[in-house]
Amino acid sequence: MKKFSTHILALAVSLSATLGAVALAQGTPPLELSKDAPDRYIVVKGDTLWDISGRFLQKPWRWPEIWQLNREQIKDPHWIYPGDVVYLDTSGASPRLRLGRRVGGGRSADSAANGAGNGAGLPSERLQPRVRSEALEREAVPTISSTEIEAFLNRPLVVDEAGLKSHPRIVGTQEGRVNLGRGDLAYARGIGDESTREWHVYRSAKPLLDPDTRQPIAYEAMFVGSAKLERGGDPATLRIVASSEEIGVGDRLMPAERAVPVNYAPRAPESRVAGRIVSVYRGVSQVGRTNVVALNVGKAAGVEVGNVLAISQRGQSVTDREAARPELITLPDRPVGHLLVFRVFDKIAYGLVMEASHPIAVGDAVSNP
């Protein structure tokens, strides 16, 4: 069994190296390190994979590539914990990252990161893949900050064409109030049995229009708060436990869902993607970094959670009046940033703007980075 496992490990390492060689042979651009990339970095609580990747790479979405070259040292390159030490190894043809872990009773990873090594920028202790028993005690470093997208992870933003009309609705408020906030009581019809206790409150759905055809491609419901069922019946009684907008009669209820995990590798799409930004959350006209936008491409177009897309402003049309005949020409698109896709539906995807050099607006194009 041990011999069989050794062969499997050797095959995995060989395959990893082969894949790297094939990628280079197919013309994949070499990995570009950040100008001030450190030799080593100790992961701290609050870090994200995007942050760590940006310390080493000019293009953070190429994070999987720099890890796939050394799978013999880390079983899962996308599960990193505070206290781990990331080492930059530039001794080979292509840079790679290694994860430093203390094995046995030797020095700690921190001491190795603070100067103890073999003179080549790597720890002198032997690094080995092993079962991460502390995974249940510590939280792994997420891809991006969950605080930026938490509101979008467990709330169904896209609904069917009928919108929310078939869902329970608020028909009355405490003491006839027009607007409700945290701690207030609401009365709703259509809840039925009392098996569901936690509810999300939504404002009526709005159509998301394709920028080119102007036809609806999905319907987006705006989350306005959450409520807890206190007593069943018709109407049922609920207490508002949180609100991001004022809640009132006519707002609809949907069962609260569990949050979707936020651990996935930032990477470029495997297929060609070409789309547009169709909506900026909360309806503002322009946004920047750490804002959420909706795209008119989703699962049907090959978009996946973790994909990084480049954002560009479409070139303006201008008239060349100095030509023999006045001629209308289109200026080149201007790159303005990057976004990371964190939730995908059939025809719609939601992304968090990670980088922005100029304001980003509805109609801007998204494509492979």
d(CA 142, CA 47): 8
Q: Which fold has domain 274-367?
A: Thrombin, subunit H (2.40.10)
Q: Which of 189, 199, 200, 181 is nearest to 232 (CA)?
A: 189
d(CA 300, CA 359): 28
pTM: 0.71
> What values do phi and psi take at 11, rounded to 5?
-65, -40
> For residue 189, what pLDDT is reported?
94
d(CA 63, CA 84): 17
d(CA 313, CA 365): 6
d(CA 281, CA 284): 7
The pLDDT tens digits for 295-347 are 999 999 999 988 999 999 887 888 888 888 888 888 888 999 999 998 899 89
The pLDDT tens digits for 104-130 are 333 344 434 433 343 344 443 444 444
Mean pLDDT value across the chain = 76
Top mean-pLDDT range of 3-12, 49-58, 227-236: 227-236
Where along the chain do its domains lie? 29-136, 162-255, 274-367
The pLDDT tens digits for 132-152 are 444 445 677 877 777 767 667
